[in-house]
C-alpha cells in the first residue's frame, strides 16, 4: 500500500470536539496527514453489485484521509494492509474495490461464505482495518453464538457501537424512522418524544437503518459488517435481505459473513447472487505452499525452518483450513518437530468439533463417533449396522454433518462419506474414555465381519486394528498375519513386513495359528 503525504494545517489549541472536527492532525475525527490512493481495482467493480448514488460528489482525491495510528489499528482489530492474511489476495482486492466504491457514492453488497476456520471473520476484520485507514466509517455487529436468540442482536450491537462515536447523526433528521431506531438502541431518546412501544415491522426497521447508513456514509462512505449470520434470527435476516435489495443509492458497502451450511443466510446469499444484487466470496482452502507460509508466519520462523514432513502433515491434517493449520503448527512447535507421532488433537479443535456436533441432535455424537472409529471414510450401511440406529436416523445425521461441514460425500463411491478433515475424526475419538473406545472398536469390528464376510481388501487390516483396540489381541494377531500374507502375495513386501511384525501381539497365542495354514 502506498501512502501519499499531504499538507498539514495548524493544530487548534482549544480542546473542544468542534475545534478539532476539521483538524487534519486529529486522527479519527475527520481527516489526517495521509491519503490512500484509489485502488485500480475499484474501477473494475461489477455493475451488478456496485451502484453509484445520483448526485453524490466523490471526495476530492487530493483531500487527506483519516490518519490511523498503529494503536488505533489494534483497537479496530485489523491489520489494514492484508499483511497478516495468507492466500487471500483476491478477496482483499474485492474488499478494497467495495470500499473505494463506497467512498465514491456507490453501493455494494458482499457475502463471505465458507466453512468454520476458513478465515471469514479475519477477512471482515481486515475490511474494517482498511476502512478505518481510508477514512471510511466502519460499523460492525455479530450474532451471539451463546445463549438464546436475541432479535436484531447484530444490528443493535452495531448501532450501539456507532452511538459511542461522533458518527451517529441526529435521529431527528430521520423523522419517524429515528423513533424506530431509538427503540433499538437503549439510552437514545425518541426524537419525537413518543411513548416507547414495540420496534415494529422488520421492513420499517430495515428502511430506518438504510436511511441512517446513508447519512453516516454521506461524506466519506460507510462499511457495514454483520458476522455469523448463520445463527441470526429471522427478523435480522429479513432486514439484511431488504438492505441488499434496496442499498442503491446509499454510499455503503455491506459485508455479510456466514458459514457454508444449510441455513437461511446462505440461501439469501445464493438468491442475492442470482438477482445480481450481491457478490459472493468463497475463500478456498490453502495449498501446500500457503500452509507452509502461514505456519512459518504464525511461529515466526523462516519457511525453510519447518521440516518438510511437518509441512506435509500440516497440509494433510488441516486440509488447507487456516484455523487448523495454526492450531496444528502451534501444537507441533510446542511438542517439538522431531516427535514422530505428531501432536494430539488441539483443545480448540476438539471444542469446535464438539460444539458443531452437539447442534445436530441427541444421537449425532454417537453416530458420528462410530463413523470416526470406522475410519476417515465410511459407508452408510456399515455405519447403520454398527450403531444399531434406524437407517433414516443415520442418513439424516450424516446429511446434517454434511451441512455442518463435518463430513462430505466421498464420490464416486456410492453411499460412502468421508470426514472433511482428518482432525475431525481424531477429535471425536479423543473424547472417548479407554473403555468407550474399546467398546466402539469391538462393535465396529463385529459389524465389519457381518457385513463383509471373509474381510476382503482393506477390511482385513482395518479389522485387525479394531480388534487390537478392543483388547482382542489373539484375533487381532491372526488378522494382522492374514493381511500380511495377502500383501506378500501381491508383491507388497514392505507392507507385508509391517503387518507381520504387528501380528506378534499375543505372547500366549499359538504361532502356527497366527501364521495360518501353510500354502
Question: What is the rounded average pLDDT of the residues 311-323?
Answer: 89
Residue 218 DSSP one-character state: T
**Mean pLDDT value across residues 221-242:** 93
Q: How far apart are CA 272 and CA 252, in angstroms?
A: 17
Nearest to 131 by CA among 40, 47, 36: 36
pLDDT recorded at residue 79: 40
- Which tops the pLDDT comparison, 352 or 44? 352
pLDDT surpasses 80 at 335: no
pLDDT in tens, 126-156: 999 999 999 999 999 988 765 566 788 899 8
- Reported confidence tier of residue 381, pLDDT bands at 50, 70, 90: very high
Q: For the CA atoms of the chain, what is the radius of gyration? A: 29
Between these two residues, 4 and 475, which has the higher pLDDT value? 475
Residues 323 and 427 sit within 8 Å (Cβ to Cβ)? no
Query: Is a pLDDT exceeding 90 seen at residue 324?
Result: no
Confidence class for position 69, pLDDT limits 50, 70, 90? very low
Average pLDDT over residues 344-352: 77
What is the pLDDT at residue 64? 32
Whole-angstrom distance, CA of residue 201 vs CA of residue 502: 68
Could you give the CA distance from residue 183 to residue 204 in angstroms, rounded to a whole number? Answer: 12
Q: Is 516:478 a contact under the CB 8 Å cutoff?
A: yes
Of 4-13, 283-292, 334-343, the range with the highest mean pLDDT is 283-292
Given a cut of 90, whether residue 279 has pLDDT beyond it is yes
Residue-level pLDDT at 123 = 95
pTM of the model: 0.64
- 155-209 pLDDT tens trace: 988 988 888 888 888 888 888 888 888 888 766 655 555 544 556 789 999 999 9
The three three-digit cell numbers of residue 314, written as one number: 500440516
Instruction: Quote the pLDDT of residue 44.
Output: 35
Interior angle at CA 337, CA 334 and CA 341, nearest 5: 95
Most confident of 35-39, 66-70, 82-86, 169-173: 169-173
Instruction: Flag whether pLDDT at 517 surpasses 60.
Output: no
Average pLDDT, stretch 376-390?
A: 93
Which has the minimum average pLDDT: 141-155, 355-369, 503-517?
503-517
Among 49-58, 231-240, 299-308, top mean pLDDT goes to 231-240
Q: 254 near 111, Cβ under 8 Å?
A: no
| Residue 191 · residue 179 · CB < 8 Å | yes
Q: Does 508 or 40 have the greater pLDDT score?
A: 508
More confident residue, 77 or 363: 363
Residue 508: the pLDDT is 59
pLDDT at 389 over 60: yes
pLDDT at 338: 59
Above 90 in pLDDT, residue 441?
A: yes
The answer on pLDDT for 43 being more than 80 is: no
Q: C-alpha 309: how far from its chain's center?
A: 27
Residue 402: is its pLDDT beyond 70?
Answer: yes
CA 150 to chain centre: 22
Q: Which of residues 415 and 29 earns the better pLDDT score?
A: 415
Percent of the chain with pLDDT over 90: 45
Return the pLDDT at 186.
Answer: 65
Beta partners for 253?
108, 223
Instruction: Return mean pLDDT, the chain.
Output: 79
Residue given cell 467512498 in the structure block? 103
Least confident of 67-81, 94-108, 246-260, 485-499: 67-81
pLDDT in tens, 241-265: 999 999 998 999 999 999 988 899 9
What pLDDT score does 76 carry?
A: 34
Higher pLDDT, 481 or 48: 481
Per-residue pLDDT averaged across 223-229, rounded? Answer: 95
Strand partners, 112: 257, 281
pLDDT, average across residues 99-126: 93
Q: What's the helix, strand, coil split of the chain in %, to 5?
A: 50, 10, 40
Structure confidence at residue 190 (pLDDT): 54
Amino acid at each position: 500500500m502506498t501512502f501519499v503525504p499531504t499538507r498539514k494545517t495548524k493544530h487548534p489549541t482549544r480542546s473542544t470536539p468542534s475545534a478539532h472536527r476539521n483538524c487534519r492532525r486529529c486522527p479519527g475525527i475527520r481527516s489526517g496527514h495521509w491519503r490512500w490512493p484509489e485502488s485500480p481495482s475499484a474501477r473494475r467493480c461489477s455493475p451488478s453489485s456496485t451502484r453509484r448514488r445520483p448526485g453524490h460528489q466523490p471526495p476530492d482525491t487530493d483531500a487527506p484521509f483519516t490518519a490511523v495510528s498503529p494503536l488505533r489499528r489494534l483497537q479496530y482489530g485489523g491489520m489494514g494492509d492484508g499483511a497478516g492474511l495468507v492466500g487471500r489476495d483476491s478477496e482483499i482486492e474485492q474488499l478494497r474495490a467495495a470500499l473505494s466504491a463506497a467512498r465514491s457514492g456507490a453501493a455494494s453488497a458482499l457475502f463471505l461464505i465458507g466453512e468454520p476456520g476458513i478465515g471469514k471473520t479475519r477477512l471482515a476484520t481486515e475490511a474494517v482495518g482498511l476502512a478505518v485507514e481510508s477514512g471510511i466509517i466502519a460499523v460492525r455487529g455479530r450474532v451471539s453464538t451463546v445463549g438464546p436468540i436475541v432479535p436484531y442482536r447484530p444490528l443493535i450491537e452495531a448501532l450501539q457501537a456507532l452511538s459511542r462515536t461522533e458518527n451517529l447523526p441526529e435521529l431527528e433528521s430521520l423523522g419517524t424512522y429515528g423513533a424506530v431506531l431509538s427503540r433499538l438502541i437503549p439510552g437514545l431518546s425518541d426524537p419525537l418524544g413518543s411513548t416507547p412501544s414495540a420496534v415494529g415491522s422488520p421492513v420499517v426497521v430495515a428502511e430506518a437503518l438504510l436511511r441512517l447508513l446513508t447519512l453516516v456514509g454521506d461524506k466519506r462512505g460507510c462499511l457495514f459488517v454483520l458476522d455469523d449470520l448463520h445463527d441470526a434470527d429471522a427478523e435480522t435476516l429479513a432486514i439484511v435481505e431488504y438492505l441488499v435489495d434496496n442499498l442503491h443509492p446509499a454510499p455503503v458497502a455491506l459485508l455479510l459473513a456466514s458459514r457454508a451450511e444449510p441455513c437461511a443466510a446462505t440461501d439469501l446469499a445464493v438468491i442475492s447472487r442470482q438477482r445480481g444484487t450481491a457478490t459472493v466470496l468463497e475463500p478456498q482452502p490453502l495449498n501446500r505452499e500457503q500452509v507452509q507460509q502461514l505456519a512459518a508466519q504464525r511461529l515466526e520462523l523462516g519457511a525453510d525452518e519447518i521440516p518438510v514432513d511437518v509441512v506435509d502433515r500440516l497440509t494433510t491434517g488441516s486440509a488447507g483450513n487456516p484455523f487448523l493449520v495454526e492450531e496444528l503448527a502451534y501444537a507441533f512447535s510446542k511438542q517439538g518437530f522431531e516427535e514422530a507421532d505428531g501432536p494430539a488433537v488441539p483443545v480448540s479443535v476438539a471444542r469446535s468439533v464438539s460444539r458443531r456436533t452437539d447442534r445436530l441432535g441427541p444421537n449425532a455424537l454417537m453416530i458420528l463417533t462410530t463413523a470416526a472409529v470406522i475410519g476417515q471414510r465410511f459407508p452408510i450401511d456399515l455405519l447403520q449396522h454398527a450403531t444399531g440406529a434406524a437407517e433414516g436416523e443415520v442418513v439424516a445425521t450424516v446429511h446434517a454433518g454434511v451441512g455442518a461441514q463435518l463430513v462430505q460425500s466421498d464420490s464416486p463411491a456410492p453411499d460412502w462419506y468421508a470426514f472433511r478433515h482428518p482432525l475431525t475424526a481424531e477429535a471425536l475419538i479423543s473424547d472417548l474414555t479407554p473403555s468407550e473406545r474399546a467398546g466402539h472398536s469391538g462393535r465396529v469390528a463385529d459389524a465389519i465381519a457381518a457385513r463383509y464376510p471373509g474381510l476382503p481388501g482393506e477390511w482385513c487390516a482395518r479389522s485387525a486394528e479394531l480388534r487390537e483396540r478392543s483388547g482382542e489381541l489373539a484375533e487381532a494377531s491372526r488378522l494382522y498375519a492374514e493381511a500380511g500374507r495377502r500383501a506378500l502375495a501381491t508383491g507388497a513386501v514392505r507392507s507385508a513386513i509391517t503387518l507381520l511384525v504387528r501380528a506378534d501381539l499375543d505372547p500366549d497365542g499359538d504361532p502356527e495359528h497366527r501364521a495360518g495354514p501353510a500354502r
